[in-house]
Amino acid sequence: MKALVTGGAGFIGSHLVDALISKGFSVHIIDNLSSGKKEYINPLAIFHELDISTAAAHKVILKEKPDYIFHMAAQADVSRSTASPLDDMHTNVAGTINLLDACRQYPVKNFVFSSTSAVYGNVSSEMIDESHKTSPISFYGLSKLTAENYIKLFHDTFQIPFTILRYGNVYGPRQTSKGEGGVIAVYLEKLKKNEQLKIHGDGLQTRDYVFVQDVVEANIAAADKGKQMMMHISTGQRSSILQLIDLLKNHHTGKIHAFHTVDRQGDIKHSCLDNTLAKHILSWKPYYSIQDGMRETYLSYSF
């Protein structure tokens, strides 16, 4: 079987490529290395250094004829999306359309799309399920929701099979200190430099942090299950910024100093995703608790 992973030199994508190759897949990667790293590329994968919005990326799909496309390449930095909404749209919307347009000419078995809890915006619900109203408050969230709608319309018009996976905040080894859910990586980089940890607002804002290996397993399960569906990949558990810092104190031998600053524009106060549907449809569940995942992530850094 052949798979194409966009963003396969990046944080989640590189872990997915490793897992696919270990399962016997032939894997092609499209990545422009704007945030991905060459050292994360599995040597057994075939690498195409391309932007997903280009004609060259379109041609790769037609030439290689992958059975599955895992679309993970994205502009995933909320702050950057606010600073440059046009660049955000170009990558997350136009890039997705370019890939889908190639699938019109060559039918794939499934187009698995990495989306985000940012499509919901600020909500009052303790737990968000897939039927919850979407109301993004960042350009990033809006661009990912727009890409989702294009995927659905391409299916309705051209019968391109798809699965949309809305992630909680993914964390783990290889994550950079930029992008959505990157606070854990940011804090670990600060600790390496003996710098203070910045807490936006009161630190009580919560997220559903899901470990990268659990996300990888969900993507592989989604390749053959749950087509024409959208579902959450999450733990269904909330953790606050202050709780993350407490967890870091369990592993870090040095002093941890933190300070509070103003809330960040476009940030969501609370976000927790119900993963019941993914458990049922994909026969999947998160293996890593926040405690276990934080330990694995901390140990991946050189202190």
Amino acid at 253: T
Q: Which residue has the tokens 């996300």?
A: 215
Active site residue: 68, 120, 140, 288, which one?
140
- Give the chain's length: 303
Write the CB contacts of 107 (distance below 8 Å, at least 6 apart in sequence).
159, 160
How big is the chain by its Cα radius of gyration, in Å?
18
Q: Decide if 140 is catalytic.
A: yes
**What residues are labeled active site?**
140
